[in-house]
Structure 1
Amino acid sequence: MSVTAQCPRPESRALRENHPVMGADWGPFNVIDTAKQDWARGWAALKKFTEREAHARVPYEHKEGAYPLGQWVAEQRRAYGAGQLAGLRARRLEKLGMVWSLADERFQKNLEAAKAYYDQHWTLCAPRTETALDKPVRQWLSNLRRPGALDDHPEWKTAPEAVDKDWNPSWPADWQRHYAALRERVRDEDGPADVLPGFTVHGMDSCRS
């Protein structure tokens, strides 16, 4: 008795793909890149978030609908820091405003506040509790002045000095504030200037040292 092998008919393909047993055998020929789909889903959720919130700083616990977007964003930062995320995906996230380092972002925001304070007061030796742009400028600068505070961020070291070369003086900050006030008071004078005691700038007697 002879057995004749028969080729499966084309019309049986749908049956094989939908059959719970036959589908398992057919699987290798019908691969879906689920990792790629998951990334695209995360990107779409982040795009929706940024269009609504106008930034990409997603809290870790935030969900966009049922999607754990905060966890997904944190994983993208981890992969980027490990050198596992680059090229097109990184560029697509950056176009949405992705911030790879939250510490860098906080530093830049505080630096902008420090610049705003300097524009008004001509010094970064701010008095206690002083703020600018709703940021605690004095406390932030005080933290930066602590020994070793900038050792882990060498790229930050020159930023305050670019705003005020005497931002971290070895002399009393109170003296520096009065000096800055007096310096700006006589900046436009052609010759020696007479500044009498009692002349105040920003509430300070510019002649008191």
Structure 2
Amino acid sequence: MSFNVIDTERQDWARGWAALKKFTERELHARVPYGHREGATPLGQWVAEQRRAYGAGQMTGQRARRLEQLGMVWSVADERFQENLEAARAYYEQFWSLCAPRSATALSRPVGQWLSNLRRPGALDGHPDWETALKEIDEHWNPSWPADWQRHYAALRELVRDESHADIVLPGVTVHGMDIGKWLARQRQHTTWTSLMDRQRELLEAIGVTPLPPEQKTPAKPPKAVSGAFEKGVAALAQYKAREGHLKAPRGHTETIVVGGQEHTVKLGVFLSNTKSRRAKLTPERLAALAALGLEWAA
């Protein structure tokens, strides 16, 4: 009597591999739906079992290599991430930011909703490589500030990329439907600028954006008696500081003030230069008036 030992497990694996090969040659990928049958072979279930065995360390290296030659994907989640990442990269090339609106699409994929889901707390736990891949495309893909702010900033950054300053972007300049000029003017306002995070201000300053002087809550009042040249000079200086936020008037600058309903032109730059050079001869009252406006040399 003789016996033939039949290794049914090896035969089943060979049949499964052959069915997967047939599937990949036809479909050009190895992403088999779980319920799919290839002829009489429940191929979807067989592929799922191979993934389980691979993850549990129960698969030989030879079998793993043979499956990988057919394009076997061990982690479906990783594969889907890579596919969506390609769509995200395409979106960034067009819009310069990964802070996409939820409705945004790219390569026929809902990339906006996908990115929004990944920004949720804990969404990337256990996937540090995913976050690294996203940061390689856009360092600020998940900023600490609103995504809408980052979209506007990215558009402004591209507008001034080859310019020396951002002053050329005026209200009415739009990009992708966003009024970047209007947004920029709002960022430069003192109240908005001071409310930004340090990193936001650093990003704006890096492309040449500076804040406007703080607004004067109440306009500076000229001295009650504005009769002589000195008093008019002080009034003009107070008016200049209220408007410009500083006292560094150029020597050739003139300032027009209204006194008693009449306009008077004051050579403010000359006034500042002359009073500073003659400060030793000024009365204590006049020095006090100049010091009150912030002239350190008069204090």
Aligned with 2:2 (options 14, 26, 39) = 26
Q: Distance in 1 between matches of 2:119 and 2:60?
A: 35
Q: Distance in 1 between matches of 2:101 and 2:122?
A: 22
Aligned with 1:192 (options 165, 187, 196) = 165
1:105 equivalent to 2:69? Answer: no
Q: Which residue is equivalent to 1:182?
A: 156
Give the residue type in structure 2 aligned to 1:151.
D
Q: Is the 8 A contact 2:171 2:180 kept in 1?
A: yes
Q: Distance in 2 between matches of 1:81 and 1:122?
A: 38
Give the residue type in structure 2 aligned to 1:58.
V
Q: Is the 8 A contact 2:102 2:116 kept in 1?
A: no
Equivalent position SS for 1:133: coil
Q: Which residue is equivalent to 2:147?
A: 173
Q: Which residue is equivalent to 1:205?
A: 179
Q: Which residue is equivalent to 2:70?
A: 96
Q: Distance in 1 between matches of 2:172 and 2:152?
A: 12
Give the residue type in structure 2 aligned to 1:184.
E
Give the residue type in structure 1 aligned to 2:129.
E
Give the residue type in structure 2 aligned to 1:172.
P
Equivalent position SS for 1:162: helix
Q: Is the 8 A contact 2:89 2:137 kept in 1?
A: yes
Q: Which residue is equivalent to 1:80?
A: 54
Q: Distance in 1 between matches of 2:144 and 2:109?
A: 25
Q: Distance in 2 between matches of 1:137 and 1:69?
A: 31
- Give unmatched runs, 5+ long, in structure 1: 1-24
Shift of 1:168: 0.8
Shift of 1:197: 1.2
Equivalent position SS for 2:89: helix
Q: Which residue is equivalent to 1:155?
A: 129
Shift of 1:155: 2.3
Give the residue type in structure 2 aligned to 1:62.
H
Q: Is the 8 A contact 1:178 1:207 kept in 2?
A: no
Aligned with 2:138 (options 160, 164, 177) = 164
Q: Distance in 1 between matches of 2:146 and 2:173?
A: 21
Q: Is the 8 A contact 1:178 1:208 kept in 2?
A: no
Give the residue type in structure 1 aligned to 2:41.
Y
Equivalent position SS for 1:26: coil
Q: Which residue is equivalent to 2:215?
A: none
TM-score by length of 1: 0.83
Q: Which residue is equivalent to 1:3?
A: none
Larger Rg: 2
Q: Which residue is equivalent to 1:19?
A: none
State the Cα deviation string for residues 153-207 of structure 1 (Å, max 9, x = none): 2222212111111111111111111110010011122x22411211111121122
- Give unmatched runs, 5+ long, in structure 2: 184-299
Q: Distance in 2 between matches of 1:155 and 1:133?
A: 23
Q: Which residue is equivalent to 2:218?
A: none
Q: Which residue is equivalent to 1:16?
A: none
- Aligned-residue Cα RMSD (Å) equals 1.2
TM-score by length of 2: 0.59
Shift of 1:152: 2.4
Q: Name which of structure 1's ranges 145-154 and 106-115 shifts more when overlaid on structure 2.
A: 145-154
Q: How many pairs are equivalent? A: 182
% same residue: 77
Shift of 1:78: 0.4
Q: Distance in 2 between matches of 1:77 and 1:173?
A: 38
Shift of 1:149: 1.1
Q: Distance in 2 between matches of 1:192 and 1:103?
A: 44
Equivalent position SS for 1:170: coil
Q: Which residue is equivalent to 1:137?
A: 111
Q: Which residue is equivalent to 2:96?
A: 122
Q: Distance in 1 between matches of 2:56 and 2:49?
A: 11
Aligned with 1:64 (options 38, 45, 48) = 38
